[in-house]
Amino acid sequence: MRSRITLLLFLLGCAILAPCVAAAGESSGSRLALAKVEGEREPTLILAQRSITRDWGASDESTYVEVSVPDWKSEGWAFALSGVVPGAGHAYLKENSGVLFALIEVGGWVARIYFGNQDEQYRQDAATFRGNPEDSSAVWSFSRWQQNTGGDPTGIRTLYEQDPDEFDVRIARDPTYGSGWDSAPPKDQFSHYLDEADGMLQRRRYASTALWFNHLAAAFDALRAARIHNFPLRQNLRIEVKTAWHSGAPGVRATLERSF
């Protein structure tokens, strides 16, 4: 707007001064003219363009300082820690509730080891009671079974060599091999050992299942505790997207800001 007003004033001034200049020229008997330019060449108009560059250096908007949020806890890390070692994620969060999961874990492993040892002990007792089936004086023998049934003991002998535990189950519970026992009472005692071993094995499996559930429960409880811990901090956090010049080029930076 200001440039337009200036131009109008200039044209108005020229219109006012033009008659005065013409009169002055006629009275002097000469014509008003521009001075002649001396030289061998005609004057030329040269247009030049100047390139203006700016070295963009560090500025307030391109300077970022990474600051950790005080007392912020990683939810994923807490979940993973308690998933591997129940109670570890709670210790990372400084939560006392993880002690319960740690005690359950210790108790579960103690039970698993105990029942596993008992299972092996009862099976060993059964094998000792049975004796060597190659010996004809054992409470169960291949020769006695062959003599009483007239069958070929090759198959059951092969099973004994490859899997003694399965062999014990077969001679105790399959009526086909009942004729190999010396008498009924030894068979009943032998079956009792196997029943006790199976019971311990089942308890060991229960302990293993409880351990898996304890890991899962501890992991999700640690995740819950981490979210509750971070909830007051989360209310004061926001993501701010800014544009800035960095190393002579524009860039976009997302920052996590906390209000106090």
- At residue 47, the pLDDT reads 46
pLDDT band at 41 (very low <50, low <70, confident <90, very high): low
Q: Is the dihedral of CA 96, 100, 102, 103 positive or negative?
A: positive
- At residue 188, the pLDDT reads 87
* pLDDT tens-digit map of 182-234: 876 788 899 999 999 999 999 999 999 999 999 999 999 999 999 888 876 65
Over 90: is that where the pLDDT of 46 sits?
no
- At residue 71, the pLDDT reads 73
The mean per-residue pLDDT over the stretch 104-132 comes to 95
Pick from 81-85, 150-154, 238-242: least confident = 238-242
Helix 75-84 to helix 184-234 angle, to the nearest 10 degrees? 170
Residue by residue, DSSP assigns the chain as: -HHHHHHHHHHHHHHHHHHHHHHHHHHTTS---PPPPPSSS------------------STT-----PPTT---HHHHHHHHHHSTTHHHHHHT-TTHHHHHHHHHHHHHHHHHHHHHHHHHHHHHHHHH--TTSTTSSB-HHHHHHHH---THHHHHHHHH-HHHHHHHHHH-GGGGGGBS-HHHHHHHHHHHHHHHHHHHHHHHHHHHHHHHHHHHHHHHHHHHHHHHHHHHTTEEEEEEEEEETTEEEEEEEEEE--
- Burial pattern 13-27, b for ≥16 Cβ within 10 A else e, equals eeeeeeeeeeeeeee
Over 60: is that where the pLDDT of 258 sits?
no
Q: Which of 137, 116, 118, 134 is nearest to 126 (CA)?
A: 118
Higher pLDDT, residue 89 or 238: 89
Q: Average pLDDT of the chain?
A: 77
pTM score of the predicted model: 0.59
Over 80: is that where the pLDDT of 243 sits?
no
User: Over pLDDT 70: what percentage of the chain?
Assistant: 62
Pick from 32-41, 130-139, 181-190: least confident = 32-41
Pick from 8-22, 49-63, 81-95, 223-237: least confident = 49-63
- At residue 196, the pLDDT reads 95
Residue with tokens 């901090």: 233
pLDDT band at 33 (very low <50, low <70, confident <90, very high): very low
Spatial separation of the C-alpha atoms in residues 255 and 242, rounded to whole Å: 8
Rounded CA Rg of the chain: 50
- Burial pattern 130-158, b for ≥16 Cβ within 10 A else e, equals beebeeeebbbbbebbbeeeeeebeebbe
Over 90: is that where the pLDDT of 95 sits?
no
Over 50: is that where the pLDDT of 125 sits?
yes
Spatial separation of the C-alpha atoms in residues 164 and 111, rounded to whole Å: 26
- At residue 239, the pLDDT reads 52
Over 80: is that where the pLDDT of 26 sits?
no
Spatial separation of the C-alpha atoms in residues 122 and 127, rounded to whole Å: 9
Spatial separation of the C-alpha atoms in residues 210 and 135, rounded to whole Å: 44
Over 90: is that where the pLDDT of 108 sits?
yes
* pLDDT tens-digit map of 67-93: 455 578 888 999 999 999 999 999 999
